[in-house]
Amino acid sequence: MSRLNCYGSLKMHVQDFQTMMRKIYFHRDSERGATGTYKWLVDEVKELEEAIRTQDHKAMVDEFADVLAWLASLANVVGIDLEKAATSKYNGKCPKCQKSLCQCPFSKHTS
């Protein structure tokens, strides 16, 4: 459900955002297919990496938004409900150690 936050801006759940991306882009993304849409997501992640490297705050804000949008679009193309997937795996705790404050040992990739 979309609503206004305390600043008067639109606030929405992940599912609302994914639905919005479906309404705006699904016709184009479905034609591009999963692989093509995935490639766009990867390009946006690379642009986010560059924004982080250069510490360009405005670019980081824009690129985080783009990454989220392309992730939602890809999920739409392959039929995944992001909010359901995220809450199923990360239901208030680490999926590996099952603690609400992760206590897993540090490693390069823990997911």
- Give the dihedral of Cα atoms 21, 23, 31, 49; nearest 10 deg: -10
pTM of the model: 0.83
Give the total number of structural domains in the chain: 1
Range of the domain at 40: 3-80
Could you tell me if residue 111 is inside a domain? no
* pLDDT tens digits for range 9-35: 677 889 999 999 999 999 999 999 999
Q: Using alpha carbons, list the distances in angstroms from residue 6 to 11, 42, 47.
A: 9, 33, 31
Could you tell me if residue 100 is inside a domain? no
Could you tell me if residue 26 is inside a domain? yes
| Whole-angstrom distance, CA of residue 35 vs CA of residue 97 | 33
CATH of the domain at 75: 1.10.287.1080
Task: Please say if the pLDDT value at position 7 is more than 70.
Answer: no
Could you tell me if residue 108 is inside a domain? no
SS3 content of the chain, % helix, strand, coil (to 5): 65, 5, 30
| Whole-angstrom distance, CA of residue 73 vs CA of residue 37 | 7
Could you tell me if residue 15 is inside a domain? yes
Could you tell me if residue 56 is inside a domain? yes
* pLDDT tens digits for range 57-99: 999 999 999 999 999 999 999 999 999 999 999 988 999 999 9
The label of the residue with tokens 């479906």 reads 22
